[in-house]
Amino acid sequence: MIRPRLFLTLPLIFLVASILVIIPGLSQDQKPRAGRQPKQFDESRFPIAEYAAPDPADPNERAKRLAKGKKYDKSAWRVYPNSVSDSMVRVDYVNLKLPALPFEQSSAVVVGQVTDARAFLSNDKSGVYSVFQIQVNEVLKNSNKSPINNGTTIYVERDGGRVRFPNGRLHMYTIDKLDMPKTGLRYVLFLNEEESDFTILTGYELRNGKVYPLDELPNLLTYESSDELIFLSELRTKSH
């Protein structure tokens, strides 16, 4: 789990893009390439957790939720209903040198479609995390601990999401440079396995025959707008 370094709270999340945050250890490669338009922020990609939602009635489901939520307890998000801002951006030591195709850094790599997305609070309600249901079409690298089969459904997680408080107010929790997959779209996802759960390391969106990086990481941008078929062919070659 990446440890947080700095937090930004802003009334309007889109203002984050206009603020320069200088953090020791981050290189200037973080800047978008010349002539490239920054990726537009789409808050609808971030699932919503209900702050006042009751625990699941089913004992088995409740036990699973408690086990998963425990990982996010004592979160640095500090989810708080009376926060004065409407958003919080966590600026971390993201790995700006992550390879464009991080097979070695991943426990598993899959091609699949997002069929559902939900957000949940940690058990102590200090943190929020999002869970995505993935219909797997192709496995490019399989996990040694939890093998994945083509045609099956898996669940993958990413820290962050939106929280709706009892007064109806929505609060956004995001990590700088990292985005969320969108329901209904196809992705290549590079996954880590943590405590028997898969988390998203990074990925690529496959849309209208083109490839788009999920995250604003320098090396991933080299494949932006690439041809999907050529890209998948390269992935299959590197996976062997």
Query: Could you tell me which of 207, 238, 210, 235 has the C-alpha nearest to residue 224?
Result: 210
Matching residue, tokens 């939520």? 69
Write the DSSP symbol of residue 22: -
Domains in the chain (CATH in brackets) are 4-17+41-238 (2.40.50.120)
Query: Could you tell me which of 154, 110, 120, 112 has the C-alpha nearest to residue 46?
Result: 120
| pLDDT for the residue numbered 207 | 97
Which two three-digit tokens encode residue 31? 């800047």
| pLDDT for the residue numbered 196 | 79
Tell me the sheet residues that pair with 45.
none
| pLDDT for the residue numbered 8 | 53
| pLDDT for the residue numbered 32 | 45
| pLDDT for the residue numbered 34 | 56
CA atoms within 13 A on the CB side of 144: 2
The CA distance from 24 to 100, in Å, is 23
pLDDT truncated to tens, each residue of the chain (240 aa)? 444 444 554 444 344 433 333 233 333 333 445 567 778 889 999 999 999 999 888 888 989 889 889 999 999 888 988 888 889 999 876 899 999 999 999 999 999 999 999 999 999 999 999 999 999 999 999 998 999 999 999 999 999 999 999 999 999 999 999 999 999 999 999 999 987 799 999 999 999 999 999 999 999 999 999 999 999 999 999 887
| pLDDT for the residue numbered 29 | 38
Matching residue, tokens 């990481």? 217
Matching residue, tokens 């978008």? 32
- Report pLDDT digits (tens) over 43-88: 999 999 999 999 888 888 989 889 889 999 999 888 988 888 889 9
The CA distance from 189 to 215, in Å, is 11
- Report pLDDT digits (tens) over 169-187: 999 999 999 999 999 999 9
| pLDDT for the residue numbered 40 | 85
